[in-house]
A = this chain, B = another copy of it.
Amino acid sequence: MDDLKVVVIGGGSSYTPELIEGFINRYDELKITELHLVDIESGKDKLKTIYNLSKRMIEKANVGIKLFQTLDRQEALKDADFVLTQIRVGGLDARVLDERIPLSHGIIGQETNGAGGMFKALRTIPVVLDIVEDIKKYAKKDAWLINFTNPAGMVTEAVNRYGDFDRAVGLCNVPVNMKNQFAEIFKVEPDTIELDIVGVNHHFFVTDIFLEGKSSIDELLDMYVSGELQNTPTMKNIESLQWSKSLIKSLEAIPNPYLNYYFMTKEQLQSERDQYEENNVRAEEVKKIEKELFEEYADPDLDVKPKALEERGGAYYSDAACSLVDSIVNNRRDIQYVNTLNKGTVTDFPYESVIEGAAIITNDGPKPLNYGKIPYKLNGTLQTIKTFERMVCEAAVTGDKDLAIAALTLNPLVDSDTVANSVFKEMFEAHKDYLPQFDQE
């Protein structure tokens, strides 16, 4: 590749500095020629702050990346090689509603799960599908879309099923985080570890772990069962709860931390309701963190990624994105954990659905390692979430309210069809400006 044009949609995100740092660090082997930060009118000020910080970082690093900021997405996409999407439709205010409204109905409110996750998907999917249309029109024929907009699994599923576009990869930092935490547990370097994971974004299990290629899942399970590991490795944004020994021993797999919401619903709900009472649900907390971050970013003397960013739940998200771009450009054939089409990788999932799993990354994109059958004990919960994802994607594209409500009724975090109906009604009213695909009444 002679020149390499990368476009970041949602360039004004607080995560962008990590991305910039990642591209700077990899510059020797991944020479990005042009980097375009794109945002929308209402994000203009944040975009400017990010652009300026990024410019200072690039200048300090003395790498040849030409940096641009713009509100004109289509112009930016012209001849792009990679498009990175990290948008938040409705901003953090919408997320506050996604978390608070369900809680007010007695059910869990969460960014990517349950009612909150569904509404985030309903708002986001049409916007990403619009971006895909622009990519098809303006970007290079073989351009890649790297999506780390949440809910990353559903967004990637929707792009593959409804976007007539097969060069989208969804990205999440949870597998990388788990790998890092397991590396700490085993006191080894993360890059000597590989995982077998099965499931979808934010809803998967680690079914094997390989240290220098040697299967070590039994050793890891023993640490849980024996009580040696007091806490589940987790994410910045998720409470650390402890699975019962019986659960881990029987599943023979480590649930990813988001599974707290499903297997510890009662405790999780209690803890969220406390936060709700204190007006301090996660979104409200994040708003404060973001405010502080942007104040720090605005400091004209800052020319590196500030430490504080690592405290955000999304740490390693952007780094994962840089790694992915690098491995595609350089045909590295290394193993990464991505959201990509199943095509029989996991026998029991739909062939045309998106999974999160291990893949080698090549210039032709991710090539999943075969997984095979889902261990039978894990099948129920995984299929339930896949069903939910597909219903939500279909509702997001068709604007079918009944389908969205039915998806909620079937969701394990919603405890009744009547609750599904009432929570939908209130959330729809609250978010309707971002839901033009639905009948507005």
Q: Which residues of A contact B (CB under 8 A)?
A: 106, 194, 210, 212-215, 243-247, 249-251, 263-267, 331, 333-335, 343-348, 350-351, 360, 362-364, 367-373, 376-381, 383-388, 390-391, 400-403, 405-407, 409-410, 412, 415-421
Q: Which residues of B contact A344 (CB under 8 A)?
A: 344-347, 370-373
Given contacts A250-B405, A419-B266, contact A390 B373 (CB under 8 A): no
Give bound CA distance, A240 to B371, whole Å. 38
Q: Which residues of B contact A401 (CB under 8 A)?
A: 246
Task: Determine if A266 and B384 form an interchain contact, defined as CB atoms under 8 angstroms apart.
Answer: no
Q: Which residues of B contact A333 (CB under 8 A)?
A: 194, 213, 334-335
Q: Which residues of B contact A403 (CB under 8 A)?
A: 246, 250
Q: Which residues of B contact A350 (CB under 8 A)?
A: 376
Task: Determine if B266 and A418 form an interchain contact, defined as CB atoms under 8 angstroms apart.
Answer: yes
Task: Determine if B246 and A402 form an interchain contact, defined as CB atoms under 8 angstroms apart.
Answer: yes
Task: Determine if B377 and A410 form an interchain contact, defined as CB atoms under 8 angstroms apart.
Answer: yes
Give bound CA distance, A416 to B346, whole Å. 28
CB contact between A370 and one of B334, B362, B369, B383 (< 8 Å): that residue: B369
| Copies per assembly | 4
CB contact between A410 and one of B244, B263, B334 (< 8 Å): that residue: B263
Task: Determine if B370 and A379 form an interchain contact, defined as CB atoms under 8 angstroms apart.
Answer: no
| 9 more A-B residue pairs beyond the given contacts A266-B418, A344-B371, with a C-beta to C-beta distance below 8 A | A247-B417, A250-B406, A263-B416, A335-B360, A343-B370, A370-B370, A379-B386, A381-B384, A383-B384
CB contact between A409 and one of B263, B367, B387, B415 (< 8 Å): that residue: B263
- Minimum CB–CB distance from A267 to chain B (whole Å) comes to 6
- Minimum CB–CB distance from A115 to chain B (whole Å) comes to 14
Task: Determine if A421 and B246 form an interchain contact, defined as CB atoms under 8 angstroms apart.
Answer: yes
- Minimum CB–CB distance from A329 to chain B (whole Å) comes to 9
**Which B-chain residue is minimally distant from A350 (CB atoms)?**
B376
Task: Determine if B377 and A247 form an interchain contact, defined as CB atoms under 8 angstroms apart.
Answer: no
**Which B-chain residue is minimally distant from A367 (CB atoms)?**
B369
Q: List 21 A-B contacts (CB under 8 A).
A: A213-B331, A246-B403, A247-B402, A247-B406, A247-B409, A247-B417, A263-B416, A263-B417, A264-B417, A267-B418, A343-B370, A344-B347, A344-B370, A344-B371, A344-B372, A345-B372, A360-B369, A367-B370, A380-B384, A380-B410, A383-B384
Give bound CA distance, A409 to B255, whole Å. 13
Task: Determine if B267 and A215 form an interchain contact, defined as CB atoms under 8 angstroms apart.
Answer: no
- Minimum CB–CB distance from A383 to chain B (whole Å) comes to 4
Task: Determine if A363 and B410 form an interchain contact, defined as CB atoms under 8 angstroms apart.
Answer: no
- 4 closest Cβ contacts across the A-B interface? A213-B363, A380-B387, A213-B331, A380-B384
- Minimum CB–CB distance from A323 to chain B (whole Å) comes to 16
Q: Which residues of B contact A373 (CB under 8 A)?
A: 343-344, 351
Given contacts A266-B418, A405-B244, contact A369 B372 (CB under 8 A): no
